[in-house]
Amino acid sequence: THRATKKKKAGRGLEHPVFPSCNGCDIFLCLVGQSSFSLRSHTCGELCSSHVDEEVTLCGWIQYLRQDLFVILRDFSGLVQILIPQDEVANAFLGLTVESVIMVKGRVRCRPEGQENKKMSTGEIEVCAESMEVLNTCRKLPFEIKEFVKKSEALRMQYRYLDLRSPRMQYNLRLRSQMVMKMREYLCNLHRFVDVETPTLFKRTPGGAKEFVVPSGDPGKFYSLPQSPQQFKQLLMVAGIDRYFQLARCYRDEGSKPDRQPEFTQVDIEISFVDQAGVMSLIEGLVHYSWPEDKGQINVPFPSMTYEEAIRDYGVDKPDTRFGMKLVDVTTAFQESQIEFIKDALLKPSGCIQAICVPEGTVRTESGDSHSYVPTPQLNLQRSQCSLISKQINLFKQLFLMAQANRPLLGKLRLQCVELLESYGVPVRDPSVFHFLWVVDFPLFLPKEDNPEMLEAAHHPFTAPVPEDAHLLYTQPRKVRGQHYDLVLNGCEVGGGSIRIHNASQQLYVLDTILKEDPSLLSHLLEALDSGAPPHGGIALGLDRLVSIIVGAPSIRDIIAFPKSFRGHDLMSRAPDFVSEEDLKPYHISVVWPSADIEGQQDNSV
């Protein structure tokens, strides 16, 4: 066999098998850490003055080289300077290309006085090469690694394996991995949750228009890639698993919505014998425990706001509370107004006038009395005009008025104003600040957009009503609040969950009588609820979104190793791709080619 033991530095003690070296001398394997089981003895970035005089073996990429003098060697941990001795070793370095992979053995020494590089974490030392081996030559490089960030998204995606070499992407992926590990420790080790994998080849949800289908070998029958393990997590509670979690891969076919991915990951959690306060505390602990050290402290418990308050004060159910500019009720000030559209608005049932006050910016504002009210007709505030108006903020420093029905529009305008202010250099939101917020007391049902006489579930049909509203289910379902809670971070929804209905007849009533859905499609769940289902609830955190906000990435693509483009394409491997008729036969499907003019629309744009 090809088993051989290599020279390694002495390892730290650990609860772990010791692998003695075969030659029995004082050389040991590096038992733990970032260089265990490796050809290298150290990483480039860990070297410092305490390693001086040590013999080290380094493996890495050539970041920069001056053929006759030195090489800057890079691995994931950082950079180190390799001094090329002026003897036959120097020949090995001749003709080396940037990004080639080499192994260097040498001795660490202090840099000569005055030659230290304070900007480099290893800037006090250098490694004097004693031998060097070229492990692989870089023959092709579309762009220098350090320039990659500046290149087009499409190019970065096509050469993703080069893009990932950048310190930023290395940081993002490693931080994600560490956060996930901490989450698992918290859930599994501290709170005894059970990590259970649930299937991704599942049955199509009725009306699940966003679910990918997977043809099976049974003619006409398809699996579906689920949008979440919702049914399974509830069934696991019925199964007595008691506390479940999973980093669950979920799927949603949303075409080319901006910054969505066809597959994404959620931290999926469900717990039995719990109430809303319990789940919220659990999640606060989870976020606190897994929070990256270099991102400052966060305080728990998180503040909490009702859905009604959020809509009233921010015009949105996921308010960004890092700044004020709340929606203000100015109805009384306009009670006597003769302006036509304001009179109209106030005549409507529960008509009122809402406003936001946009300060010109604390830096430039010297007097505190700059509240001047500029009414703007509701009807003019169409989407396109909103931005037009907000561009004039610095001209008429302001206020926008709207009739009540348009609170969401005012909420959007509030965000646009801030972006505009910040683009003018007025700091409004501190990028190092993280505002978590719970939004609670959502309505359980909402009128359907296309048919307001009908109701649909605001969250999903398994959410339990708030206990004191439960009796209204049977009389005034529109007034029922759900035991639903959303976790909001800096104005983005990063999680949502609920206490679930555990009573079969209540669940049947909601599905059948209120939502008019065919309950037979969920007969297995209804049966399960009737066979001893414990009270239970849970939550799902959007991991991609959460991590992207924490690292300050502009897109979730920056915290996913191999993301798809806007159009759902993998630009590196060119997936999806054509499949032969022959290969489709076992699945009893064939392609329905659209007519030529539609086909013409296809392209390979990002």
Q: Which stretch binds a copy of itself (CB under 8 A): 340-348, 354-362, 382-390, 565-573?
A: 565-573
Q: Which stretch binds a copy of itself (CB under 8 A): 258-266, 376-384, 385-393, 410-418?
A: 258-266
Strands 304-306 and 327-329: unpaired
Q: Which of residues 110-149 bind a copy of itself (CB under 8 A)?
A: 135-136, 138-141
Q: Is 481 helix (H, G, I), strand (E, B) or coil?
A: strand
Closest separation in Å from C-beta 103 to a copy of itself: 8
Q: How many residues bind a copy of itself (CB under 8 A)?
A: 167
Q: Is 204 in the site for a copy of itself (CB under 8 A)?
A: yes
Closer residue to a copy of itself, CB minimum distance, 33 or 377: 33
What are the CA-CA distances from residue 189 to residues 14, 27, 178 (Å)? 19, 35, 15
Closest CA to 345 of 358, 325, 330: 330
d(CA 526, CA 529): 5
Which stretch of DSSP H or E encloses residue 403?
strand 399-403
Closer residue to a copy of itself, CB minimum distance, 319 or 359: 319
Contact 62, 98 (CB under 8 A): yes
Q: Which of residues 505-524 bind a copy of itself (CB under 8 A)?
A: 524
Q: Is 196 in the site for a copy of itself (CB under 8 A)?
A: yes
Contacts of the segment 453-457: beta carbons below 8 A, 24+ positions apart: 454/516, 455/514, 455/515, 456/515, 457/510, 457/515
Contacting residue, 27, 92, 101, 470, with a copy of itself by CB under 8 A = 101
Contacting residue, 48, 83, 155, 239, with a copy of itself by CB under 8 A = 239
Contacting residue, 324, 427, 552, 594, with a copy of itself by CB under 8 A = 594
Q: Within a 10 A sphere around the Cβ of 21, how many other Cβ atoms?
A: 14
Q: Is 339 in the site for a copy of itself (CB under 8 A)?
A: no
Q: Is 282 in the site for a copy of itself (CB under 8 A)?
A: yes
Contacting residue, 125, 528, 551, 556, with a copy of itself by CB under 8 A = 528
Strands (E), 325-382: 327-329, 353-357
Q: Which stretch binds a copy of itself (CB under 8 A): 124-132, 326-334, 391-399, 581-589?
A: 581-589
Contacting residue, 70, 223, 373, 566, with a copy of itself by CB under 8 A = 223
Q: Is 324 in the site for a copy of itself (CB under 8 A)?
A: no
Position of tokens 């001749």?
A: 94
Tokens found for residue 78: 């950082």
Q: Which stretch binds a copy of itself (CB under 8 A): 341-349, 421-429, 547-555, 559-567?
A: 559-567
Q: Is 180 in the site for a copy of itself (CB under 8 A)?
A: yes
Chain-centroid distance of CA 169 in Å reads 14
Contacting residue, 53, 583, 596, 600, with a copy of itself by CB under 8 A = 583
Angle at which helix 167-184 crosses helix 543-551, to 10 degrees, equals 130
Closer residue to a copy of itself, CB minimum distance, 15 or 88: 15
Chain-centroid distance of CA 295 in Å reads 16
Q: Is 34 in the site for a copy of itself (CB under 8 A)?
A: yes
Positive or negative CA dihedral for 403, 407, 408, 412? Answer: positive
- x/- binding map, residues 69-88, to a copy of itself, per CB under 8 A? -----xxx------------
Q: Which of residues 535-554 bind a copy of itself (CB under 8 A)?
A: 535
Q: Is 600 in the site for a copy of itself (CB under 8 A)?
A: no
Q: Which stretch binds a copy of itself (CB under 8 A): 116-124, 236-244, 343-351, 489-497?
A: 236-244
Q: Is 577 in the site for a copy of itself (CB under 8 A)?
A: yes
Strands 78-83 and 243-251: unpaired
Please, which residues bridge with residue 500 across strands? 463
- 250 — phi, psi (to 5°)? -125, 160
Contact 268, 228 (CB under 8 A): yes
Chain-centroid distance of CA 230 in Å reads 19
d(CA 539, CA 498): 6
Contacting residue, 386, 507, 560, 565, with a copy of itself by CB under 8 A = 560
Q: Is 10 in the site for a copy of itself (CB under 8 A)?
A: no
Q: Which of residues 450-469 bind a copy of itself (CB under 8 A)?
A: 466
d(CA 34, CA 57): 13
- x/- binding map, residues 284-323, to a copy of itself, per CB under 8 A? xx--xx----------xx--x-x-----------------
Contacting residue, 278, 296, 431, 552, with a copy of itself by CB under 8 A = 278
d(CA 353, CA 347): 11
Closest CA to 355 of 426, 406, 307: 406
Strands 484-489 and 436-440: antiparallel
Q: Is 388 in the site for a copy of itself (CB under 8 A)?
A: no
Closest separation in Å from C-beta 453 to a copy of itself: 24
Contacting residue, 252, 318, 412, 502, with a copy of itself by CB under 8 A = 502
Closer residue to a copy of itself, CB minimum distance, 242 or 512: 242
